[in-house]
Structure 1
Amino acid sequence: MAFFGPETGPAAGLGQPIIQGAQLAIDQYNEDAECEVNYELFDSQGSPDEAPSLATEVAGDESIIGVVGPAFSGESAAAGPIFAEGGVPTVTPSATNPTLADNGWDTFHRALGNDATQGPAAAKYISETIGAEGVFVIDDASEYGAGLAGIVEEDLADTVVGTDTIQAGDTDFSATVTRVNDSGADTVFFGGYYAEATILIGQLRDGGFDGTFVVADGVKDPAYLDAGEAAEGTIITCPCIPATDPGVAEFAEAYEAEFGEEPGTYAAEAYDAANIFLDGIAEGIDNRADMLTFVNEYDEAGVTKQLSFAENGEPSEVHVYAYTVEGGEIVPEGEIS
């Protein structure tokens, strides 16, 4: 079995809980296994540019009969055709761009709701809970960030007072700050990852913006808290179950015992994804074709939800949750219905 996603690089903080969630499932399986399952890490750094060569490497290794990942949407789009051609079954615990399910890849599966669910949920929260009257929408030009921001913009069309695009890796967002302030927005939505969000919110606050900052799952990482006081009050949406949910209590306890920390974003979803493959291995499956059939027909309770897939690989059950940065911590608020 393999993990495909960022082990290092600017988004490694989001990759680590996924790596460890799958690792826990494999370690638990191997405790009683007659034949141990190996776990290989393919470090894409979350980059679409790195993904094709790594996917080719995975596809060429017939001993890999299941992949937890790819972790991000951009690398999923780049690697997906290669996995499909190689017949490599994949279950992503974290890639949320809706179009990934529209490519006809029979090997693609997603263990969480996509942005066609998260986007409207974020828009609903902004409209109904925050009561925003003027929303400025920003994205980071990535497959994930731009796609999600576009959905939020469309759903909030009547209250959107401006939009802008930044680039991943940039550190000077002064032009964007000026546009936000000139728009009179009381709420900013950002579609992107935590590295840019951490800098952006600091510059927004320094520039005088005192409204609500709303982000999504790509920002739900402890590193975002490095923004300090500027991050307080940030709303984070995520199709990831809170570690405090009673349904994941046993998993969370085992995760903390093994890794010395609470489960991070998508750790539980990665645990579920890995266990799908492990259930197939437990039934004696040792090749990709049979594993793909097994995953396509899978319908069992995981720790995050009932796990089964539509023909296009989308999950049958979807949940989106809201979190707030409060007292220097990311605190769950509950499910957005």
Structure 2
Amino acid sequence: MRRNKVFAAGVATLALGLSLTACGTTEDKGDGGGDAGCDLSLAFFGPETGDAAGLGKPIIQGAQLAIDQHNEDADCKVKYVKYDSQGSPDEAPALATEAAGDESVIGIVGPAFSGESAAAGDTFAEAGLPTITPSATNPTLADNGWDTFHRALGNDATQGPAAARYIKDTLKASSVFVIDDASEYGAGLAGIVEKDLGGAVKGTDTIQQKQTDFSATVTKVTDAKPDAVFFGGYYAEATILIGQLRDGGFDGKFVVADGVKDPAFLDAGKAAEGTIITCPCIPDTDPAVADFAKAYSAEFGEAPGTYAAEAYDAASIFLAGIEDGIDNREDMLKFVNDYDEKGITKQLKFDDKGEPADVHVYAYTVKDGAIVPEGEIK
């Protein structure tokens, strides 16, 4: 078993060390630590700015924590490069070409979202640049034949049925209205939930990202009078949508998925109360990640957000390869493909399509203005 540096010296010693050094990190592309004798970088690919930056921040910081800990006593101090896609499939191709052209980049933590993953995947595959996404969940990403693609969490073929089970078995909802945001992620997930709910679906609708007036959708929902609404999409739209649904008279359950699991959703205030959020992301209260959560809080002054722990695991796989002396993409890809070690979120092992061998989906509830874990959806 490889030594996990998060826990090696104890949380108290670690917190002190992290407060004194932050080697190998960068706030902008092309800058950062490392030493003259080791020109190797790991890269984050996803939203650092823009409407979805709230979901990118924990991923950035989770990977940063792993790199900081590696660099504390490493002969090869790894640089950290960030490619800010703003979560946009339109921005992804050019950024992927830039990342692929930087020969020092030996692995990508990301891409963060499904749409940008689809847009960038061919470029990474052609460059032989291994990627491990801690957050992109569209199932079809694994069907593109990219030998560089890996996913550190369960996809929506597991999250969608889990959400449908929760709606039927726990909420006891006999009628459901399904809404999606037309994104690769949101539409794909909503389609899976709709299929699994079958005859319980009393209506569907599609909105658009950056839309702010949902009156037409609200009318369709209130006319259908469902027990629950499922929304496949991101928190920016969900925050507005739930407010307008409540104002329009909908008083049933609002069920969303991991794209909404961000503190910004709580800006909806009282309207967000009772919302159910599903996510293939381990709660930071789980004993398996308790020490990680303490270390993360010590470095960043806040609790780890959605997919911070999964990003830490993704970065740690690449760092384990570097510790083994790997200094090129070809060998790193083989290392990642063959990897089989216990991480902090799960056993980290990939099948021949890059999917994880160990998958879990959890439920969360918005309660008293906070996102509270309920437990794993079995």
Q: Is the structural similarity TM-score above 0.5? A: yes
Task: Give, in whole Å, the separation in 2 of the partners of 1:184 and 1:30.
Answer: 56
Partner of 1:4: 45
Task: Give, in whole Å, the separation in 1 of the partners of 2:124 and 2:76.
Answer: 25
Task: Give, in whole Å, the separation in 1 of the partners of 2:175 and 2:339.
Answer: 44
Is the aligned partner of 1:134 residue 2:202? Answer: no
1:1-337 residue pairs with structure 2 within 5 A?
Answer: 1-337=42-378
CA RMSD, 1 decimal = 0.3
Structure 1 unaligned spans of 5+: none
1:167-187 superposed Cα distances (whole Å, 9 cap, x missing partner): 000000000000000011110
Residue 197 of structure 2 aligns with an amino acid whose one-letter code is L
SS in 2 for 1:156: helix
How far 1:276 sits from its partner (Å)? 0.2
SS in 2 for 1:213: strand
Find runs of 4+ consecutive structure 1 residues off by over 6 angstroms.
Answer: none
How far 1:29 sits from its partner (Å)? 0.3
Task: Give, in whole Å, the separation in 1 of the partners of 2:335 and 2:227.
Answer: 49
Task: Give, in whole Å, the separation in 2 of the partners of 1:215 and 1:36.
Answer: 40
SS in 1 for 2:298: helix
SS in 2 for 1:66: strand
Task: Give, in whole Å, the separation in 1 of the partners of 2:60 and 2:257.
Answer: 20
Task: Give, in whole Å, the separation in 1 of the partners of 2:98 and 2:300.
Answer: 29
1:2-33 superposed Cα distances (whole Å, 9 cap, x missing partner): 00000000000000000000000000000011
1:275-314 superposed Cα distances (whole Å, 9 cap, x missing partner): 0000000000000000000000000000000000000000
Q: TM-score, with normalisation over the residues of structure 2?
A: 0.89
Task: Give, in whole Å, the separation in 1 of the partners of 2:225 and 2:289.
Answer: 42
How far 1:35 sits from its partner (Å)? 2.0
Task: Give, in whole Å, the separation in 1 of the partners of 2:374 and 2:227.
Answer: 21
Residue 284 of structure 2 aligns with an amino acid whose one-letter code is A
Task: Give, in whole Å, the separation in 2 of the partners of 1:273 and 1:108.
Answer: 12
Aligned identity (percent) is: 80
Aligned residues: 337
How far 1:133 sits from its partner (Å)? 1.2
Task: Give, in whole Å, the separation in 1 of the partners of 2:166 and 2:227.
Answer: 14
**Greater C-alpha Rg:** 2
Residue 97 of structure 1 aligns with an amino acid whose one-letter code is N
How far 1:230 sits from its partner (Å)? 0.1
Task: Give, in whole Å, the separation in 1 of the partners of 2:322 and 2:251.
Answer: 53
Task: Give, in whole Å, the separation in 2 of the partners of 1:168 and 1:23.
Answer: 29
SS in 2 for 1:307: strand
Residue 251 of structure 2 aligns with an amino acid whose one-letter code is D
SS in 2 for 1:261: coil
How far 1:165 sits from its partner (Å)? 0.1
SS in 2 for 1:269: helix
